[in-house]
Amino acid sequence: MSLADHVRMLGRGPGRSRSLTQDEAADAMTLMLSDDAAPEAVGALLMLLRMKGETAEEIAGFAEAARRAAPALPAVDLDWPSYAAGRTRGAPWFLLSARLIARSGRRVLLHGWNGPDGAVRDGLAKLDIPVAASPEAMARALDDHGLVYAPLEDLHPALFSLLALRDRLGLRACSNTVCRMLNPGGAPAGVQGGFHPSYRLLQAAAAALLGWRALTVIKGGGGEAERHPGKAAESFGLRDGRPWTGRFAALREAPARLADLTDADPAAVWAGTADDPVAVDLVVGAAAVALHTLGDPTPEDTARDLWLARHDRLAA
């Protein structure tokens, strides 16, 4: 099929149009990622999907094709995408949460793009998280640190171009959700943030179609997988490949917005030169979500133990 065929299927009008099947969505994404894709057809397809609302089958098909078009990466235990714009988030404390998971002996792949918000990219260097542009560099970083960040523009330039169309189209397209579902390292477990409840359910349903074993999606700070310590976190996803919902209890009294909870420096808190219990709860809380996703029976306790042992040669 051509992109025009897929556009026609979506845009025939009331009573005649329909959603794409998973296989059709995979074909459409393959065409959109090709060098000769007509930009008018790409824009039309993305905006028709925006108006209609994407289905889990469409997101799964898009993500499946996007991953096939990405380079083969070293295997990891946990996928951690970061694609939020950061308008309601403070410092990227979830980066320290990912470091804790890596300290437990798991291999964690962070990947993303945050538009004009430079907090995540700036935080990587400050928090000694390696950034790698090639599979070989990622493998070395994972072997040495258990953790690596892959910039989307290096990892998957064609998908990055689709994501960047938001600036031209003026609206969020499904590319953002597809990036969250990319799972380029083929991890059996993943953690994701999402702002709108409908998208959290959509991501969970798409993950099931893609054969994921475990996923947790929370309403995180600024759309990231970051847990407000003063609020219960309603969670959606998968456990053992089956639909799952859960609830992570609040860790303390903290009524403020996430961005206003603390102005501490994450690097200083990690080093122990700054004492900020709220910041520690921010880190430990998101790490506990990840540990629960990975199957830890006592994730809160394990996360706090990892925090206390973070400067050991390898946290147990």
pLDDT tens for residues 26-52?
A: 999 999 999 999 999 999 999 999 999
Mean pLDDT of 3-27: 93
**Residues 229, 256 contacting (CB under 8 angstroms):** no
Query: Tokens 């969020």 label which residue?
Result: 172
Going by C-beta distance under 8 Å and a sequence separation of 6 or more, which residues neighbour residue 152? 83, 111, 112, 113, 159, 160, 163, 179
What's the pLDDT at 116? 84
Instruction: State the CATH class of domain 78-308.
Output: alpha beta
Q: Enter the CATH code of domain 3-68.
A: 1.20.970.10
Residue 19 in tokens: 């959603």
Q: How many residues does this entry show for the chain?
A: 316
Query: Tokens 């098909």 label which residue?
Result: 61
- Residue 229: name the closest of 260, 251, 256 by CA: 251
DSSP secondary structure, 239-296, as one string: ETTEEEEEEEPP-S---S-GGGS----HHHHHHTSS--HHHHHHHHHHHHHHHHHTT-
- Residue 82: name the closest of 138, 152, 160, 129 by CA: 152
**Residues 111, 148 contacting (CB under 8 angstroms):** no
Domain ranges of the chain: 3-68, 78-308
Percent of the chain at pLDDT > 90 equals 83
Report the SS3 class of residue 46.
Answer: helix
**Residues 143, 108 contacting (CB under 8 angstroms):** no
114 vs 179: CA distance, rounded Å: 12
What's the pLDDT at 313? 63
pLDDT tens for residues 284-309?
A: 999 999 999 999 999 999 999 999 99
pLDDT tens for residues 163-176?
A: 999 888 877 889 99
pLDDT tens for residues 72-92?
A: 999 999 999 999 876 656 899
Query: Full-prediction pTM beyond 0.85?
Result: yes
